Amino acid sequence: MDFWAWNAGVTTSAGLVLGAISSTLITSAAIGNGDIELKDWLQFIGTLIGAAATIGAGVAAWIAVQRQIREPREHAIETIDVFAMSAQVGTQFIANAIKKLMNSVGDGPKKLIVIDVNAEHSEITKFAEMFNRSIARERYIDHAHTLAPAIICLRCEQLQASIEKLRDRLSNEKYWSDLKTIIECAKSTYDDAESVRAAIQEYRTGK
């Protein structure tokens, strides 16, 4: 529930209650054809203070409850956002590194044969290790899924699957032709990460 809408409703209700109290007090004095005594005003002021305290306590309690709900959810969303952003950085690195590796060989016949285990393969293994280190907060993602909105979690799960697919490609390449597939997989993973961050942005601007 929106706080300001709720607060407006409480304030309106409180105003009606206090208005009714004051109207009753003044009407009673008028019917009795007498002046309102000091004790009546003191009683009325005491009623106002008591009502204000009750309303204030209600607002404070509502804010506390909403904060308890909102803070874990926002932390979960932030965790997923950092995870997706780091995946984008990692996939950009992989795509650029593989492209440079392929360009270093040129257009000779080597691109048609098996990757050299002692040369290119060792380089790709280093790329894979750097990619894995670039992914941030990955171990917290499953817990974040229990708190974040469903659409964000769904897209994050797709991103996780893409990351695992890219890791598999990086560890099982055998031919130079496989490197093009790795680049395509990296681009697809980047797009999935972008989709996650777009869902987060939509949630934050729409709530």
Closest-CA residue to 93 (of 130, 145, 121, 38): 130
Please state, in angstroms and as integers, the Cα–Cα distance from residue 181 to each residue in 6, 13, 118, 173, following that order.
54, 65, 21, 9
Which residues sit opposite 20 in a β-bridge?
none
pLDDT band at 173 (very low <50, low <70, confident <90, very high): confident
User: Over 50: is that where the pLDDT of 1 sits?
Assistant: no
Please state, in angstroms and as integers, the Cα–Cα distance from residue 29 to each residue in 10, 20, 22, 32, 160, following that order.
29, 14, 11, 5, 73
pLDDT in tens, 83-140: 999 999 999 999 999 988 888 766 555 555 767 766 778 888 899 999 999 999 899 9
Which residues sit opposite 114 in a β-bridge?
175
Asked if 124 and 178 touch (Cβ cutoff 8 Å), the reply is: no
Residue 138 vs residue 27, higher pLDDT: 138
**Helix axes of 120-134 and 150-171: crossing angle, nearest 10 degrees:** 160
Residue-averaged pLDDT of the chain: 78
Instruction: Indicate the pTM of the whole model.
Output: 0.66
User: Over 60: is that where the pLDDT of 171 sits?
Assistant: yes
Residue 85 vs residue 174, higher pLDDT: 85
Question: What is the fold of 72-206?
Answer: Four Helix Bundle (Hemerythrin (Met), subunit A) (1.20.120)
Domain positions in the chain: 3-68, 72-206
- Most confident range (mean pLDDT) of 23-27, 49-53, 188-192 is 188-192
Closest-CA residue to 89 (of 122, 142, 130, 126): 130
